[in-house]
A and B are shown apart, each in its own frame.
Chain A
Amino acid sequence: MSSLALQDLGPKTLDWTWISNNFGDEILPALQGHIFLSLTSVAIALVISLPMGILVSRYRKAYPPVTFITGLLFSIPSLAAFMLLVALPGVGLGPVPVIIALVAYSLLVLIRNVVAGIDSVPEETKDAARGMGLTNRQILFRVELPLALPVIVAGVRIATVTIIGIATIGAYINGGGLGELIFTGISRNFPTRVIVGAVLATLMAVLADVLLLWLERRLRPWARVRRA
């Protein structure tokens, strides 16, 4: 479909020479920047969401306010969020406000999946564990988290794919990444940059999706039932 649209734009739409000439000093850094933004954001979001999710699954009363606040964060338009963060003292332009916003966006889905994962552990499994003399900590680390892990990874998958998409907008506030190519391409009226940026961002999202889906399956070997 995209190739049809490209033909309408004329023969010079995709300038292969430009791509090969600028691969090393423009495209690759943008890609690396994008990977850095996405990985850092997901990692930080996970570090916050895991303990939050565990806590919320224990103190159920905290769940509605936590979903409310993270849901609110999730619903702020991304461009507005970036601009607001830039205006905060001590933040300014650059990758920092982008990462903060991306983390904020991931919290809802990650916390929700941590809680859902822990909730999915059968009551009788936990009861048997307690009845055999596992401590609460042992139940958490040996029973609840391993069983919740595939659901948590499913959340990471959704968060990562979302983040890779939104991160492109971060270039607007000098966050770096593939958005850099897209925005420069638009302002200089040079479609090749836009296309390269968009295609790479899409490829990255698809790759992350496939990789995490594979991991999700790997973490659930017990579900591959092989009856004798």
Chain B
Amino acid sequence: MTEILRIENLQKRFGGLVATDNVSLDVHTGEIHALIGPNGAGKSTLINQLCGELRQDAGVIHLAGRDISHMPAPERVDLGLGRTFQVTSLLEDFTVAENVGLAVQARDGGNFRIFDRVTGRTSVWEETGHLLSGSLLNDRRDARVADLSHGEKKQLELVMALATQPRLLLLDEPMAGLGHLESQQMIDTLNGLRGEMSMLLVEHDMEAVFALADRISVLVYGQVIMTGTADEVRNDPRVREAYLGTEDA
């Protein structure tokens, strides 16, 4: 299996708007595949269809050779599809450790148990500690998520996705709103995960994209206008016109 993800002719309409217009795309096993495109191009809409939060109107999604087009979101997670949210979406009343712990527990199972003690699940908390000690949130374990900075929340998004042990990680703008140093740290973290899992990376930060991506696909008005290496994308006139020309890259 060389493709962890294969998307065929995916379509999604919102009323008259075609948000996903006949998208075909694949992510090779082990690769970091970036998806770029202007605001409103339909990147998040695509991610949401891949993870099962939105249902496509037409088209097929294969994860590791399996048709997951009509599978509910939680089952896709079990098959190894992890995601982060563009607008952070966390358990705000819980601490950092409780957030990660619940993500580990969710994967580990026993979620219907009513006679155990959640604090007594040593393997869950050991793994939580392990995940956190390898992250920038190590000193923030007991902080309530509502009290975290934006950058810390973005970090937590990633750690929680990793806790589900994904084979394919869908990252929706992990650097959005981060300062330069924080972005660099995020790039390093993602680079460190290279090879452990495949990634589909949606990102506006071109520095990050060029630093990380093995291949890049460009989405404009719901259509993939090209897929190629960083150099190919940089030098493509259509991309310059549609995307790079309109923004400072």
The answer to whether A and B come from one shared complex is no
